[in-house]
Amino acid sequence: MLVEQRQELLLRELRASGAVRVAELAARFGVSAGTIRRDLAELAELGQLTKVRGGAIPVGGRGEPPPDAPPLVAHPTAPTPEPEPPSAGRTIGLLVPSATYYYPSVVAGVRTVANRRNTRIVIGLSQHDTPRDNQQIEELCAAGASGLLIATAGGHHLPPATLERLRATGLPFVLLERRPEDPYEPCEFVVSDHRLGAFNALRQLHGLGHGAVGLYLNRTPTAPLILDGYRHAVERLGLDASAPVVNGRRPAPDAQGAGQEYDRFVDGLLASGARAALVHSDYDAIELLQRLRSRGVRTPDEMALIAYDDEIASLAEVPLTAVAPAKRLLGEVAAELLLDRVDAGPEAHAMATRHVVLHPHLTIRDSCGGKGV
């Protein structure tokens, strides 16, 4: 990743979350803490942020995150301070599996609604590599949550045991990007239709004349849904089923292993004759773009690419067309659903159970070689 790309992403996270921390950013970008400190120093000299011990805050801060902004990583028993407690006495307990990718935008959406409805947020983190879902649920309850917004560290479907644990709290809850394994369970959730997002990406490439499209997946809870949408599109659009499909690395950085998988995918594309690919995530798409260039394969002339997530896709050397889930809107809608139930009190049991499915948007840029179809 170029310095400019890294610094632009750093500023995006700062705007979304209200604070960034050196250790988290170093792990996120696979660079040293010293590199991140230099980035922060350069951006501070340009007036883009204010450095504080261990990280940075927006310009005009006072040495700590804004009082209404939950930190990127916060222990539920140490909630974000506020100048005055909300008059309604409501607190949203928010559990997310990632502090640095995808979920900062979701958190920003929750904060927008919480601020408007005079509600406090307490945030907990259950990381993909070391899930602590049940422990975090307990701690959010102990921190005084009036209701829970839950995105667990596991897959797209919430395990029955976790669903039972949530019900045992006696608090209203809404799932974020998760739904129960049993489709008939009366449980509220807000999810993105990632199957549709993948289908629309392949339909775009098919409309541009591609008869074969490869797929590269980063192993996240989103990946199986993207794979389902991809397979449906291949069948429905009559695409060549021999194009390569690679299940790549996990989110934790693994440069050597990831490099081998990128090369295997590029080899498969070139050998199969496929000249287009859908890549999850943005980071993987940028790496593949650079590896294609090193082999003399130009994008989009000789290989069209569409990224999935649209976190940093616009910062690639060839700006990447990308599937963009409505992450901030997802947070806003989920917070509204939860606060409606909290406000209803004992009457909440009479409310209809609501399932909200948001359609991702396909943002057209240079890397697929055409306009919307």
- For the residues of 80-109, what is the DSSP string, one character each? PP-SS--TT--EEEEEES-SSSSHHHHHHH
Check residue 236 and give its pLDDT: 98
Residue spans of alpha helices (H) in 124-208: 133-142, 160-168, 194-207
Residue 100's nearest CA partner among 23, 47, 154, 5 is 23
Is pLDDT at 360 greater than 80 in this prediction?
yes
The answer to the question of residue 340 being in a domain is no
Q: Which of 66, 91, 114 is the last residue of a domain?
A: 66
* pLDDT band, residue 60 (cuts 50/70/90): low
Please check whether residue 36 is in contact with residue 26, taking contact to mean a CB–CB distance below 8 angstroms.
Answer: yes
109, 119: one domain: yes
Greatest mean pLDDT range, 36-40, 63-67, 367-371: 36-40
Q: Which of 3-7, 205-209, 225-229 has the lowest mean pLDDT?
A: 3-7
Gap between the Cα atoms of 143 and 70, Å rounded: 14
Is pLDDT at 129 greater than 70 in this prediction?
no
Q: What is the mean pLDDT of residues 201-208?
A: 98
Q: What is the mean pLDDT of residues 137-165?
A: 94
The CATH number linked to 56 is 1.10.10.10
Q: Which of 25-34, 189-198, 296-305 has the lowest mean pLDDT?
A: 25-34
100, 182: one domain: yes
The upper half-sphere exposure of residue 169, i.e. CA atoms within 13 Å in the direction of its Cβ, equals 26
Token readout for 128 is 């993909």
Check residue 151 and give its pLDDT: 96
199, 313: one domain: yes
Is pLDDT at 293 greater than 60 in this prediction?
yes
Token readout for 54 is 């261990």
* pLDDT band, residue 371 (cuts 50/70/90): low
291, containing H or E segment: helix 282-294
148, 255: one domain: no
283, 312: one domain: yes
Check residue 213 and give its pLDDT: 98
Q: Which of 148, 172, 187 is the last residue of a domain?
A: 187
Is pLDDT at 45 greater than 60 in this prediction?
yes
Is pLDDT at 317 greater than 80 in this prediction?
yes
How many C-beta atoms surround the C-beta of residue 133 within 10 A? 22
Q: What is the mean pLDDT of residues 248-275?
A: 78
The CA dihedral of 245, 183, 151, 358, to the nearest 10 degrees, is 70
My answer on whether omega of the bond before 224 falls inside 30° of 0, hence cis, is no
* Number of domains observed in the structure of the chain: 3
**What does the mean pLDDT of the chain come to?**
86
Residue indicated by tokens 């995105």: 151
The answer to the question of residue 355 being in a domain is no
160, 278: one domain: no
Q: What is the mean pLDDT of residues 294-315?
A: 94
Q: Which of 245-249, 251-255, 285-289 has the lowest mean pLDDT?
A: 251-255
Check residue 336 and give its pLDDT: 97
* pLDDT band, residue 31 (cuts 50/70/90): confident
Instruction: Give, in order, the Cα–Cα distances in Å from 329 to each of 14, 113, 117, 245, 332.
Output: 19, 10, 16, 31, 5
The upper half-sphere exposure of residue 142, i.e. CA atoms within 13 Å in the direction of its Cβ, equals 11
Alpha carbon 296 to chain centroid distance? Answer: 32
Domain ranges, residue 257: 194-325
Greatest mean pLDDT range, 151-155, 260-264, 273-277: 273-277
